[in-house]
Amino acid sequence: MSDSPSAAPLHCGRHRLDLSYPRVMGILNVTPDSFSDGGRHNILDDALAHAERMLAEGAAIIDVGGESTRPGAQPISEQEELDRVAPVVERLVRDLDALVSVDTSSPAVMTECAALGAGMINDVRALRREGALSAAVRTALPVSLMHMVGEPEDMQQAPQYDGAIESAVEDFLMERVAACEAGGLTRARLLLDPGFGFGKTVEHNLRLLNRLGRLEALGLPLLVGMSRKSMIGKVLERPVEERLPGGLALAALAVERGARILRVHDVGPSVDAINMTWAVLQEGMEP
Ligand code: 8Y4
């Protein structure tokens, strides 16, 4: 507990991820209904070009997702998810030597993508699906555990928590860490994510960000995703394509509150915002 969670690099397959300073995870959606890309990234070469650009702009990780987790989204089959994601993971690894995170809750997708060279698992269901924990253990990869109550289909139906949201999130994540450790996944391979926008009102999201320090105290690296989300849209009354300035403000605050991985769409601007924030926190220019 006394060691900083960010002291030792994370072992992500062939890659090592230094989290002694905040890093950017670029979003690569391979869903046909992809909210911000209009499904263009179903085309393999487009997906690769987009990832290449995000890496050039300073992304440390590319997060590949084939299942839409938008509010109200319908689930897809494991096979369909695998068909979407596997070819992209394979080429990101082979052609770009990228550190690939696979955004999935499916044990088969975890297993297959790890075999293809993915370096991290990003599970918005925190390994609660049948077989997911044991599959993740077998990959030996780091896993991000996210807080979400319910499923994407129903999570935004009047979200309510007994007591403070940050306590609910903290309790949930502590329970998932304990379950992971009991299942053979060591703490050294876990990251925590409060799950902004997942079953939460704007007020919940703002409060969670303001109190992110509570989660940092759990001693594991924090990952956050707020890019283009409706908390920005609602506060600023901006449509999704006009949420970048709001998102950069949130990213800066998240870094100040202890976040070490920021999952974003707009990598270049986010890297600058984060590095500038970090320079102030460190009072210097070193990373
Ligand atoms: C506009 C843009 C509106 C994006 C909604 C969205 C997270 C995540 C997602 C997150 C982690 C999303 C897969 C939702 N969010 N994984 N995934 N943390 N770890 N919505 O916050 O981006 S998808």
Sorted by sequence, the CB contacts under 8 Å of residue 267 that are 6+ apart come out as 24, 26, 53, 54, 57, 58, 59
CA of 226 to the centre of ligand 1 (A): 7
Catalytic residue list contains 263: yes
Label the pairing between strands 10-12 and 15-17: antiparallel
Report which protein residue has its CA nearest ligand 1's atom 6.
229
pLDDT at 241: 98
pLDDT tens profile 116-172: 999 999 999 999 999 999 999 999 999 999 999 887 777 677 778 989 999 999 999
d(CA 188, CA 262): 19
Q: What ligand 1 atom has the least distance to the C-alpha of 195?
A: 21
Question: Is the CB–ligand 1 distance for residue 66 below 6 Å?
Answer: no
Q: 249: alpha, beta or left, given left = phi > 0 and alpha = psi -120 to 50?
A: alpha
CA of 203 to the centre of ligand 1 (A): 17
The CA R_g of the chain, rounded to the nearest whole Å, is 17
Considering the entire predicted model, what is its pTM?
A: 0.94
Domain boundaries, the chain: 5-283
Domain 5-283 class? Answer: alpha beta
From the candidates 189, 229, 257, 260, give the one annotated as an active-site residue: 229
pLDDT tens profile 165-206: 999 999 999 999 999 999 999 999 999 999 999 999 999 999
CA of 283 to the centre of ligand 1 (A): 31
Catalytic residue list contains 229: yes
Neighbouring-strand partners of residue 29: 65
